Amino acid sequence: MPGTLAAIIITVLFFKSASDAGKNPVHMAFTGFLVFFIPALLWTFFITPGFKDTLAHDPSNTLVKLTANYAYVVIGTACSTWAWFKIFKSNSEDN
């Protein structure tokens, strides 16, 4: 659920920023979604199983549990934020 909300917010942010910058908003919204989704998916497939294995041995570790359940949102959001600054802030400095 948090990943879905983050993806929707990021997609809308890229759409509105593209509209303000005079770019194709649908293309930029799709780019924002992919920049969130691909790192989150890779994190989920390659990193999260290690955390889940750790939790099988120590289920009381709250920090590992939070990391295993929600780190993909942080990773995807960080990648999207980086892409947003690279796409929209670099273009505004050039003008």
Q: pLDDT digits over 24-58, tens only?
A: 999 999 999 999 999 999 999 999 999 899 898 98
Segment 77-86 shows an average pLDDT of 96
Distances (CA, A) of 54 to 13, 79, 85: 36, 26, 35
What is the 8-class DSSP label of residue 79? H
Residue 79 in this model has a pLDDT that exceeds 70: yes
